[in-house]
Structure 1
Amino acid sequence: MKTLYRTLLFSAGVALVATGCASGPQYKEIASSIPTLASDHGRIYFFRADAFGGAMIQPEIKLNDQVVGRSVAGGFFYVDEAPGDYTVSTATEVKREVTFTLHAGDTKYVRTSISMGILVGHITPTLDDPDTAPKEIENLKYTGVKTGTVTQ
């Protein structure tokens, strides 16, 4: 009886954690449908590594105070924007930000990472290395808005 109880408890725990992870197609499944970047815009990829801890914490990601998506463990999405100065922010117990300038033709990568908080984890956005970030995104699932084909 104890074994059955433990098995059921473990299965419920796995299911609970899985609901907090990204669902959707992997990058490789949608890569060919991601539109070419317009010459007068820049692209910003937002991503969060697939992590066991904190998967249920999925705060909004804001770009210049406008919600563009959520920080979902194991997920990524992107937005195309006009050149300019941008602030990416997330908030749980505290607000965390990163700022940068986007130029036409640029691609920026914003990683969101979880750290311990008092009541709930903190999600912190940081600019990531343009040489290594694309390789990590290849293993993640697309969490952006879909309207017919892949869009931001």
Structure 2
Amino acid sequence: MKRRLALAATLAAAALFAGCASGPKYAEVAKSIPTLKAGEGRIYFFRSSSMFGAAIQPEIKLNDQVVGSSQPGGFFYVDRPAGKHVASASTETEKTASFQLDAGETKYLRTSPSFGVLVGRIVIEIEEPAKAKAEIEGLSLTTLTKK
């Protein structure tokens, strides 16, 4: 009986952590992140490592182009020309965040799960740089999607 309970607990833990980002930590890749090109800004997308809503990992779009996905414990970044941008994530509804990106500027967009009617949702919010940088330090780089 104890053996079955231990096996069940192990399988449950594995299922929970299977959805978490598993790439290199920010500290491991920080020095290899390239400098910005002239006229571009950088957008970091990140999600805390909370297990709440871990199974909900929709694609993240920037101006209707898929740039990555919202993975618990993960972050990724994209460089884009200065101008107006709209980030979005869809499950049962689409949630968006619109913002102006200036040349040389870095924006931080937090993706986080929330309750929905049938399925959970991912909300996208612009985060303060100091708070975002502190959190990204402990997150893992997820796959980058090229332009």
* TM-score (norm. length: structure 2): 0.95
Distance in 2, Cα, partners of 1:47 & 1:11: 28
Residue aligned with 1:49, SS? coil
Letter in 1 for 2:82: P
Q: How many residues align?
A: 147
Q: CA RMSD in A?
A: 1.4
Shift of 1:131: 1.6
Q: Which runs of 5+ in 1 are unaligned?
A: none
SS of equivalent to 2:130: coil
Unaligned ranges ≥5, structure 2: none
1:17-56 aligned within 5 A: 17-56=16-55
**Alpha-carbon distance in structure 1 between the residues aligned to 2:112 and 2:129:** 17
Please name the residue that 1:88 is paired with: 87
Structure 2 residue matching 1:15: 3-state secondary structure = helix
> 2: distance between equivalents of 1:73 and 1:110?
14
C-alpha contact (below 8 Å) 1:22/1:143 kept by paired residues: yes
Ranges of 4+ aligned residues in structure 1 off by more than 2 Å: none
**Counterpart amino acid of 1:75?**
G
Q: How far does the alpha carbon of each residue in 1:19-77 deviate from its partner, in whole angstroms, 9 at most, with x for none?
A: 10001100001111000112311000000000112112110000010000000000000
Q: Which moved more, 1:33-42 or 1:59-68?
A: 33-42
- State TM-score, norm by structure 1: 0.92
- Is 1:10 equivalent to 2:45 in the alignment? no
1:119 Cα deviation after fit:
2.2
